[in-house]
Chains A and B, each alone.
Chain A
Amino acid sequence: MSFSTMLYTMGEGMLRTCAIFILTILFSLPLGLVIMFLRRSRFFIVRTITKFYIAVMRGTPLMLQLLMWYFGPYYLFGMNIRGYRFAAIIIGFSMNYAAYFAEIYRGGMETIPQGQYEAAEVLGYGKAQTFFKIILPQVVKAILPSVTNEIITLVKDTSLAFTLAYNEMFSLAKQIAASQTSFVPFVVAGVFYFVANYAVAFTMEFIEKKFDYYK
C-alpha cells in the first residue's frame, strides 16, 4: 500500500471522525444548558434525578455507555433498529458530554454575583431576557477555558467509536497498521489529533480574546 493510498483511506476516516466531533458539539452544548437548568431546578425531585443522571454519565466509562446505547434497545426491549449505529454513537457522545458541559455551565453561573440579576430585574428585564442578555455572556466568558479542555478531550475521545465498529480514523489506522505491519498510520493519526487540537486551541483563544473586555 502506497503512502498516498493509505492517506486516502484514512482521510475517509477523518471525515467520519469530524462528523462525530461536530455533531456531538452541536447537540451537547445546548443540551448541557438544559441539564444545567434542570440541575438548578427549585423542585427537589428534578434536581435529584438530574444529579443522578450526571453521576452516571461521569461515573461510568464512555465506552460502556456507547455499548449501552447501541445494544440497549435490543436487549432491553427486543427492538431491532436498522442503521442505528451512527445515531447510537452521536447519542452516546452527546448525552455524555452534555453532562460535563452542564457542570461547567453551573460553575460559570455561580461566578455571577446576585447583584447582576437584581440590576437587570430593576431595569424591568424578565427572567429569560436577564439570562440571555446579561447573565449568559458573562457565563460564557467565565467558562471558556474549561470548555476548551472539554472540546480537546472530545477530539481524542472520538476514537472510542471503534467500540461500535464504526470506521472512524483511528479504527482505520489500527487496521492498516496491522495489515501492513507499519507504524506509519499511528504517526499519521497522532499528527491528525495534534493538528486538530491545535486548531481547537487556536480558535478558542481567538474567542477568548473577543471576550476580553476588561483586564
Chain B
Amino acid sequence: MAENLFNKPLIRVENLFKIFGENDTKKPTVNAIDNVSLEINRGDVMVIIGPSGSGKSTFLRSLNLLEQPSSGHIYVNDVDITDKNVDIDKHRQKMGMVFQHFNLFPHLTILRNLTIGPEKLQGRSIKDAEREGMELLERVGLADKARSYPNQLSGGQKQRIAIVRSLAMHPDIMLFDEPTSALDPEMVGEVLEIMKDLARSGMTMVCVTHEMGFAREVGTRILFMENGRVTADGAPDEFFNNPSNPRLRDFLSKVLQ
C-alpha cells in the first residue's frame, strides 16, 4: 500500500482555467491560466519561470485555492480540492506557502509565529510546539531571535522565518511565490541556501522564481509559462542547454546574459 501511495502523484491538475474579468463586461477577459494539466510527484522540485504576466503566480496560488480556479480540477492526494464540500483549511495545513512579502504576523514574537499554527490548528501542546519551533529556528540560524518581533528583523531573516513557519506545520509540499524578489541582493543568498537544503532533504517544492542559478542547481523539473499556458516542461539540463521553444530561448537569453 505504501508503495502505491508513493507512485501516485501528490498533486494532479486537470484542465485548469483562471479567467479574470468574467463577470465584468466592461473589461476584456484575460485567461491568466489557460488549460493547464500536469502532475507533481513526491520529491519533485518544480521551478516555474516565465515573463511577468504569464500566469506563474496565479497558477501557484491556485494550487492551494488562494485563487479560485474558473474551471478544472486540482487533486491533492487524490482528493479534488476544488470540490465545494472539501475542507480546504485541512488541506492547506499540509501545503506550506512562502510569499514574496513574507507576511509574518507583526503582533506575535518570532517563536509565536512558528507555534501558533501547530498549537491552535493541529492541537499540539505548546511545549511540544515550542521545542520544535526552537529546533527550526536553529536550523535557519535564528534561534537568538525567538523573542524578537518581525519588524526587528531584516528581509532575509524574515523570509527564513516565513519558511520555517510553514515547515512547523509539517507540510507535504512547499509553495514558493517569488521568495527572493523583495529582498536586497545581499540577502538573496541566505534564503536560497535554506531552500536548497530543503530540496536536498527531499521536500516536494513548487517555486516561482527568477533565480536561474537556483533552478539549474536544485530544480528537478522546470516549467516555462507564457500567456497562461505551459509551453515547456522538462529537466533542467535539456531545458537550459538545448531549449527548443523559440520564446523560451529568447527569454533565457534575456535573463541569463
Contact = CB atoms under 8 A, between A and B. Distances in A.
Interface of A: 113, 115-116, 118-126, 129, 133-134, 137-138, 141, 211, 213-215
A115 B169 contact: no
- Lowest 7 A-B CB distances belong to which pairs? A124-B93, A119-B103, A214-B151, A115-B103, A122-B97, A123-B117, A124-B92
A134 B97 CA distance: 17
B72 to A, nearest CB: 20
18 contacts: A115-B101, A118-B66, A118-B103, A119-B99, A123-B121, A123-B169, A124-B92, A124-B117, A124-B121, A125-B121, A129-B120, A133-B120, A138-B106, A138-B107, A211-B107, A214-B106, A214-B150, A214-B151
Interface string B120-153: 1100000000000000000000000000011110
Nearest to B168: A123
A129 B90 CA distance: 13
B155 interface: no
A129 B116 CA distance: 11
Contacts of B117: 123-125
Interface in B94-123: 95-97, 99, 101-107, 116-117, 120-121
B217 interface: no
B89 interface: yes
Query: Chain A: interface secondary structure?
Result: helix
B64 interface: yes
A213 B92 CA distance: 29
Contacts of B116: 133
A126 B89 contact: yes
A60 B101 CA distance: 44
A118 B60 CA distance: 13
A126 B95 CA distance: 15
A84 B166 CA distance: 56
A119 B66 CA distance: 10
Contacts of B89: 121, 124-126
A118 B100 CA distance: 12
A138 B96 CA distance: 23
Nearest to A134: B105
A126 B102 CA distance: 20
A203 B66 CA distance: 41
B169 A121 contact: no
B105 to A, nearest CB: 6
A115 B93 contact: no
B151 A122 contact: no
Nearest to B148: A214
Nearest to B104: A119
Contacts of B95: 122
B81 to A, nearest CB: 12
A115 B151 contact: no
Nearest to B94: A124
Q: B91, B92, B95, B106: which has the most chain A beta carbons within 10 Å?
A: B106
Contacts of A119: 99, 103-105
B48 to A, nearest CB: 17
Interface string B165-187: 11001000000000000000000
Contacts of B92: 121-124
Contacts of A214: 106, 149-152
B150 to A, nearest CB: 7
A138 B103 CA distance: 13
Interface in B45-91: 64, 66, 89-91
B120 A213 contact: no
A126 B105 CA distance: 16
Q: Which of B64, B107, B121 has the most CB of A within 10 A?
A: B107
A139 to B, nearest CB: 10
Contacts of A125: 89, 117, 120-121
A113 B101 CA distance: 10
B106 A122 contact: no
Contacts of B105: 116, 119-120, 134
A138 to B, nearest CB: 5
Contacts of A118: 66, 97, 99, 103
Contacts of A121: 66, 89, 92
Most A Cβ at <10 Å: residue of B64, B92, B93, B103: B103
